[in-house]
Copies of this chain bind each other. A is one copy, B any other.
Amino acid sequence: MRIFTEQELKQFVSLNSEAVKVVEDAFTSLSQDQVSMPPIMRVDIDDQNGEVDVKTAYIKEKEMFAIKISSGFFNNHLLGLPSGNGMMILINTKTGVPEAVLLDNGYLTDVRTAAAGAVAASYLAKNTIETVGIIGAGSQAKYQLRALNIVRKFQKVLVYARSAERAKKYAEEMTAELGIKVVAVDSAEAVVRNSDIVITTTPAKEPIIKAEWLHPGLHITAMGSDAEHKQELEAEVIAKADILVCDTKAQCARLGELHHALTAGVLTEESEVVELGDLTSLWGAGRKNDEQITVCDLTGTGVQDTAIALFAYKEMVKRNKGITIENNKILQKN
């Protein structure tokens, strides 16, 4: 049993092209029926304004699979704590023995979520783009921009957040980090109308993006909604998309933007939805020309967790990192 801490995972596991590739491959496996992925398990701690999700997926032939525990406790700010926490456990797929505990505190979720955004953009965004729009200015807004930077070149970034101050801080930080001009603007509309790609990264409960702002060639990735009550896009945005992609159709129909489009009746169960794994495994399932409007709805899947946990494990073990516990003794500490 190996145990890895957040600090060393952040030090040695990067959001890079290999991380994007392992997440892409995981979606391909999902599309090819090589994955056993039960629905998300959820425990609501209503009296504390908290929720805990458990996600998992077994990818055939892989030597381990992950079980991920992630929590959101929305009164934590009153205690000066971040709302999100989490960890992953790797289980041996030949014996069922727990092999590793990754005390990543949500870091690997940030990486795999951003990696899925990059996969979506690489198949759905125009090849040549000028401006990227970011809605939200939190941690995932940064990771999404870093991930996009792996799969597309761009000259300018527009960012909008409810807090103008946070948007300004984001713009400063990301300009310095990426060496690309990042500018805070004062409305979501200004972002959408002037960008080739828009990524929404908020916990919004009311739509932020209106269908009337859409324009030819636009690609939107909405990664914020992962619960019934969350919504970033007007239902009509989904309806106007020439290609609508979901990480998994079943999950988006329950927890994502698709859910609201179905409820509003602008789409039906029979409407054409492409899954992310079809994009990565079927030739020609992505964008066909520079005029199409494309939307990708990401809710987060266990297969991404298994992919990133395996990637992290490999990176850590090859550097001989982590604490090893065997026969009830600590054998090694770093």
Contacts from A to B (Cβ < 8 Å): 1, 3, 5-8, 36, 38-39, 41-48, 50, 52, 54, 56-58, 60, 65, 67, 69, 71-73, 76, 79, 81, 83-87, 89, 91, 93-98, 101, 103, 323, 325, 327-328, 330, 333
- Chain B residues contacting A79 (CB-CB under 8 Å) are 94-95
Alpha-carbon distance between A209 and B287 when the two chains are bound, in angstroms: 63
CA distance A38 to B50 in the complex (A): 15
Tell me, in angstroms, the Cα distance from A1 to B36 when the chains sit together: 31
Can you name 15 A-B residue pairings with CB atoms under 8 Å?
A1-B103, A36-B43, A38-B41, A41-B41, A43-B65, A44-B58, A45-B65, A45-B93, A47-B60, A48-B93, A76-B95, A79-B94, A79-B95, A85-B95, A330-B330
Contact B328 A323 (CB under 8 A): no
Contacts of A42 in B (CB 8 A): 38
Docked CA distance A8–B329 (Å): 11
By a CB distance below 8 angstroms, the chain B residues around A6 are: 328
Contact between A72 and B96, CB atoms less than 8 A apart: yes
Contact A5 B41 (CB under 8 A): no
The complex places the Cα of A6 from the Cα of B38 at a distance, in Å, of 29
CA gap between A76 and B38 in the complex, in Å:
24
Besides A41-B56, A52-B91, A84-B96, 17 other A-B contacts (C-beta < 8 A): A5-B325, A7-B327, A39-B41, A41-B41, A41-B54, A45-B58, A45-B65, A45-B96, A50-B95, A52-B56, A52-B67, A54-B54, A69-B89, A71-B96, A85-B95, A87-B89, A323-B330
Contacts A43-B38, A54-B56, A69-B67; A328 near B7 (Cβ below 8 A): yes
In the A-B complex, the 4 residue pairs with the closest CB atoms: A71-B96, A7-B328, A5-B328, A73-B96
Q: How far is the CB of A296 from chain B (nearest CB, A)?
A: 27
A84 to B95, CA, bound (A): 9
Closest chain B residue to A325, Cβ basis: B5
CA distance A65 to B42 in the complex (A): 13
